[in-house]
Chains A and B, each alone.
Chain A
Amino acid sequence: MTAATNKSFLADLLAGRPTADRGDAMSRLRARAVERVGALTVPNTHDEDWRFTDISPLTRLSFQPVRAATKLSAADIAPFVLAEAASRLVFVDGIYAPQLSTPASGPVVLSSLAAALPVQAIAIETELGRMAAFEHNAFTALNTAFVNDGALLLLPRGAVAEKPVHLLFIATQKEVASYPRCLVVAGAGSSATVIEDYVALTEDAYLTNTVGEFVLGEDARLHHVRVQRESSAGFHVGHSAVSIAHGSHYHGVNVGFGARLSRYNLDMVQTAEGGECTIGGLAMVDDNQLADTHTTIDHTKPHGVSRQQHKCIVGGSARAVFNGRIVVRKGAQLTNSTQSSRNLLLSDRARVDTKPQLEIFADDVKCTHGATVGQLEADEVFYLKSRGLSDAAARSLLTYAFGAEILRQISVSELRQRLEQTVLAQTERA
């Protein structure tokens, strides 16, 4: 594909952006991003960061922002609703659906970004677009060029959100591009569980291009569960940017089952001494799906702790990519970082490309990493069969167990159980 068509793909997408300049923070951010999109091209496999992921199936198609919003009823979204989540924001094809949402206004603020803008102008202006750098990332720039609404969660100092917060993004229309945006600002000592959930009510091709920013203050705790269960014809490109401060703990679990092609970038930066993050990832793909996960954990200060475990289960002719970059900057002494990438191939045609990438510039650190790619253990399969389980049941149970190790990290039991069922159903199908 030539640079010219790449350019036109971005230009065509950009054509439908919101153009009204209201002179506010979001308008200014948009203008900067539009300029940037103009200078960037869609990545191709010559870019180191996209070596294993050919996005031409995406760039061959064209997408527009939604023209007429789909009206969904409570019954339509019932399959996705979590009783455990006290408050919820719902976006349909990227458009906020107030009639389906249950925002909160204090002390914890959960609101659409647009609605909160007049009241929370300072917080939004300071934080929106700060973490999620778009200078070198065409998709993040594109999302930012469209930013005019999204989900906002503000946790004031010491605030504790007892119940999980559910951010539900539903794709319903063919050839629609949506640009979901999340901003979570967790003040000092606050704590919350946020579920960022991408689902579909269509079987057609569409594009979801997301950006989320998660800013943790001192001693804040955030459990961030990101679930990508797009339709099998959908395209999903997501970016989370996280910053942790002194004593704070980010516990992220990202799970991806859906999409014809998906790319998830997680950028975690430790901005003060002694932050901690735990990151679990599970990508489960089949048929001709492709799931690409790129993470960067950037230790810039001493005494940081990061634990990362990523797993891929790949069947059919599917393909999974994991690139786990760990940076330990000069002066980030006594960093303690572990990373494991474990991959299960369920067919001869399935493929995984996994690459740890350690860049360590401090001398007194503990960093371990390991990667394995394999099939189910023959001895485990035999053990189960020797107890009467059929070959299929044994394999499905072991595959399930492999994935469940990540799902167990999800503290919202209702969601965890549903995802376990998804894994089980998918293993039984394979």
Chain B
Amino acid sequence: MRQLTRPLGLTTLVLVSVTLLLAVFGPVLWSARADSIDIDAMRQGMSAAHPFGTDYLGRDVLARTLVATRLSVLLALLATVLGAALGILLGTLPVVLGRRIGGLVVAFINLTVAFPGLLLAIFFGVVFGVGADGAVLALAVALTPNFARLTYTRAVAVAEADFVSAARLLGVPRAVVITRHVVPNIAEPLVVNFASAIGSALLSFAALSYLGFGVQPPSYDWGRLLNEGLPRIYTDPASALLPGFAIVFAGITFVLAGELTARLLTAEPPGHRAAPRETAAPGEPEPGGEHGVLRVVNLRVRFPAANPVCGASFTLHRGEILGLVGESGSGKSVTGAAIAGLVPHPGQVEAERLEFDGEPLDPARLGDRLAMVFQDPMSSLNPALRVGRQLAEVAEVHRNADRRSAMARAVDRLRAVRIRDPERRAAQYPHEFSGGMRQRAMIGMGLMGEPRLIIADEPTTALDVTVQRDILGLLREVRDTQGTAVLFVSHDIAVVRELASRVLVMYAGRIVEELPASALDTAAHPYTRALVASSPDLRTDRSLPLATIEGRAPDATEELPGCPFAPRCSYADERCHTELPAPRDLAGHRVSCWHPIGALEVRA
């Protein structure tokens, strides 16, 4: 409902009310004036008595335009209702009829959608004959294909939805399934489409009347008035243009109404905007002179409506694999993207320090020293280019290599990531690769240079376990042979435990614990503990229930004063709810918690 008080909502409401009031009361109020013929005042320009002049019979143009609102809107409405009804009928046919005839109907719908609506309307206007009835029919037929296609595509999608299958399995009768689940879920886009269709019907109808197909004298709608006024456009522009203005006004009104309905229907529950904030403790300088490959101090990422990362600090050393775990929405991917300079607009990245190789990180100068590997290799490889070519391009761009040697390197890299028969594979397109091979190719692409750092964001999540094992092995090998550091982002704690030497645990945009992978079972932060305990492995005691974490993680739009885990934490006390715990060092762990579990406090 908040949409209604926004500028768009308010404007639309005002416009719609004005249009409807005019349609209802216009003829009542101004009919007499609009129809009174005054031979003495024919074709007059603007005057006090006739603000927009008079027509060829001396009738007041303003009054006539206002009165015409009712007919214009009514006819457009009629045409749209009829068109929608026909369209919905046509669109449900393929679902009801069998595959073969249904297929023909679909082909027919798709064919007709391709025709411009107005052209169809004019064509049918000629077929159905001159006059308002004919024009309504013509327009309805012209509007039919769009409604038909929308109905059809939605019906198919909803009919195949899992919730419809579930209802069938429960033995809910077919008719009930359709009225209860299918129709309401189709209705929504139809309603939206309906409102904006009225707008375009209004314009089309005016066009038909203007061309002489639509409303015939002595009746008049806006199109008719435009037709009568336009010959005088140079002498009396105001009276000629007023109906045109009315058409545009009403057209926009209904299109906006469509837009507003869409927003109202799809509106998410409102999340409140989070204000930028200060973290309790700024990251302390790291001890010792040796700089890591990557040093991040107090990294924050802000979007207008969310703060997905609020103060992350960590260092990544040469040849180290650092795991970053956390549940969905905790900010893992955004952290990785921020380092690679890939946070989309309008996101803002801030950090006290963000150093790569000892220098301030400049995404423009990273070149091939940093490589990114994503979850879905298909979307990061260009489907239209041969794999070898895509790899070779990296060397051509970053190393000014010539085509020949670049391709040689590409083949060599494909071999390095253990793709068999790399010469032949280099000449293939991404879709000819299996999922695991694509992921190898992506890593191979990262290895075209000599990367200092690979950021791998859920690189194995979409893969089978056996393929996952190969990819993990490959990352380890790259680390061993080239000393590359890896930031390995994953929601799967078992995978991280296996691959990484150190682990960052992220919760609600903060790193709540940093610890050696080998110490996961004795984690100090209650969240890490629960996370480890809740995922079964091959040693889990089958006779006991699994540990659980009730509730859900706050999303990046919520702002809690205390520890973000407090609402779900069984150790939480008063302080946890009001004060944000700062990170502190505890026996090799770095923990943000007021009541860390177990470990002896080494440094307060």
Instruction: Tell whether A and B belong to one assembly.
Output: no
Interface residues of A (CB under 8 A from B): none
Interface residues of B (CB under 8 A from A): none
